[in-house]
Structure 1
Amino acid sequence: MSMSKLKAILFDMDDTLLDWSRFTRETWRDIEKKFVRGVYDYIIAQGNEIGDYDTFINAYFEHVKNAWYEARVTQIAPHIGQIFLDVAESLGASRDKLDMEACLQVYGWDVFPGVSVFPDVKPMLDKLKGKGIRFGIITNSAHPMSLRDRELRKHGLIDYFPDCRIAAADVGYLKPHRAIFQAALKALDATPEETIVIGDTPEHDIAGAQAAGMRAILRVRQPVPPMLSGLIIPDAAINTFEELPAVLSDWFSDW
């Protein structure tokens, strides 16, 4: 049992708080075609000739794929705003005529159909909030938090996380890089000993948290790949958030 008092919990966002199990890559492409249209229209309105929308959206999908391929090697986070600018420039647009923030504002990012909050999330947050524990979100998202906040508002989650909502795109690095964990600790004014991390991905959430000096709980949504099961060992694992209080009681004398 730890002598430190539990001060903060950092949560991964996707597949930890939000259930994306009914979402497919094909769904993403179809919806993104609608979301990205506003960006294309903005670029054209600035006097750029970049071809038709099919050309633009296909180049966008290719840039996204390549950005994530590179990021998995470098841990440098992709940024969707930068991708928009890169796509436009690759098709002949003048960078001087474009503004990243303007691209993000007209990008139609929103809640995806079929994505919902796991039913055990809000009851757990309400219970822990009553204990005075502070919450943070750290997500390996190429979308800055200004966009992801649109989802949190519509899902009724944003008020649980007033002080710490951090996307990798905003920090510049992906989990398991320490930067995103350190930024969260600073935002919550907490030490690693006072903080735990909960996430569904061993190689990002668990390994990253442990390397930053925090204990990590695996949110089990699917079987862990065999190659990882012996290399990355979480400090605890839960199938539902109803199991979390028992873990906390083992670790903290008064939480």
Structure 2
Amino acid sequence: MARALLIDLDDTLYDEASYVRSGMAAVAREIAGLAGAPVPEVEALMLEELARNGRGKVFDVALERLGVAPQPDLIKGLVEAYRDHRPAIRLWPGVREALADLAQDHRLAIVTDGLGLMQRRKVEALGVEALVETVVYCWELGWPKPDPRPYLKAMEQLGGTPAETLVVGDNPGHDMAAAQAAGLRSLRVRTGRFAAETFPNLTADAEADSFVAAAPLIRRLETVS
């Protein structure tokens, strides 16, 4: 029986890459103002660097190519703009309906990892707080994933027990590892950047192609537990 669901946010309920693109667009507007360049040109330059080398030096590279010295205080301000921006993101199709359906006979919590400000912005933009009973922000507690304590805290808040609690997430290194450490069952969704990766030592009790596909599987798991 699994009546308490502890659900990851990034790459489980929506595409985290869309958040990154949204943040880059916000910063592109800042850089465009400094450099006197068109926003689309700046954004394209940043996304090109992101695709080539990852997030590490995107702001520095963009500024240098536009003739602006990447001073530490300037970079700090751009990082803050990225973190504090109001993201243009959406739940994957069908996720809202799947959460509403599961909430009819389950108690739901979101357990999310990352800087509290950023995660709260995401939760607000996606409107998921109204769809679950509680949201646990791991970093605000000082317990980053895969620390099992945020999951145990969420389970307690839902009034669940280990036998009736299921962790749902996309990242075995975070979600499945924490579930194992907490003595909880888990279901992996094959979405996001870890979708094709294998984690031989961090297997889940079940897998699904998406959160929407996981919803009926959750109920089938309960009938055989």
TM-score norm. by structure 2 comes to 0.68
**Would you say the 8 A contact 2:168–2:186 is kept in 1?**
yes
Q: Which amino acid aligns with 2:131?
A: Y
Deviation readout 1:199-221 (Å, 9 max, x if unpaired): 11010011111221111111101
Look up the match of 1:224: 196
Deviations 1:106-153 (A, max 9, x none): 99724323x21111211111111222x111111111125xx6344333
Aligned counterpart, 2:65: none
Q: Deviations over 1:11-51 (max 9, x none)?
A: 111111122234547x645635879xxxxxxxxxxxxxxxx
1:32–1:197 CA distance, 2 compared to 1 (3 A): farther
Which of the residues 75, 80, 87 maps onto 1:58? 75
Aligned pairs for 1:174-253 (under 5 A) are: 174-221=144-191, 222=193, 223-226=195-198, 228=199, 230-253=200-223
Q: SS in structure 1 opposite 2:2?
A: coil
In 2: Cα distance, 1:60 partner to 1:231 partner: 41
Following the alignment from structure 1 to structure 2, what is the Cα–Cα distance between the partners of residues 21 and 108? 14
Greater share of residues in helix: 2
Amino acid at match of 2:3: K
Partner of 1:111: 86
Aligned length: 185
Q: Is it true that 1:139 corresponds to 2:112 in the alignment?
A: yes
Q: Distance in 2 between matches of 1:224 and 1:161?
A: 28
- Pairing 1:15-30 to 2, within 5 Å after superposition: 15-24=11-20, 28=23
* TM-aligned CA distance change 1:117 to 1:245, over 3 Å: closer
2:113 touches 2:138 (CA, 8 Å); kept in 1?
yes
User: Any stretches of 5+ residues in structure 2 without a counterpart?
Assistant: 31-69
Structure-1 residue corresponding to 2:99: 125
Amino acid in the other structure paired with 1:224: A
Query: Residues 154 and 58 (structure 1 numbering): CA distance in 2 closer, same or farther, change over 3 Å?
Result: closer
Q: Which amino acid aligns with 2:16?
A: W
Q: Secondary structure at the match of 2:175?
A: helix
For residues 28 and 143 of structure 2, the distance between their equivalents in structure 1, rounded to whole angstroms, comes to: 27
Q: Look up the match of 1:31.
A: 26
The answer as to whether partners of 2:147 and 2:178 remain within 8 angstroms in 1 is yes
Which 4+ stretches in 1 moved above 3 angstroms?
21-25, 27-30, 32-35, 147-151
List gaps (5 residues or longer) in structure 1: 36-52, 65-83, 85-105
Preserved contact between residue 166 and residue 185 of structure 2 (Cα < 8 Å): yes
Change (3 A) 1:196 1:156: same
Supply the AA of the counterpart residue of 1:31. Answer: A
Q: Quote the Cα distance in structure 2 between the aligned partners of 1:200 and 1:170.
A: 21
* Closer, same or farther: CA 240–206 of 1 in aligned 2, 3 Å: same
* Structure 1 letter corresponding to 2:9: M
SS of 1:17's equivalent? coil
1:7 to partner: Cα distance? 2.2
Identity across the alignment (%): 24
Q: Does the 8 A contact of 2:189 with 2:214 survive in 1?
A: no
Aligned to 2:223, the other structure's residue is in SS state coil
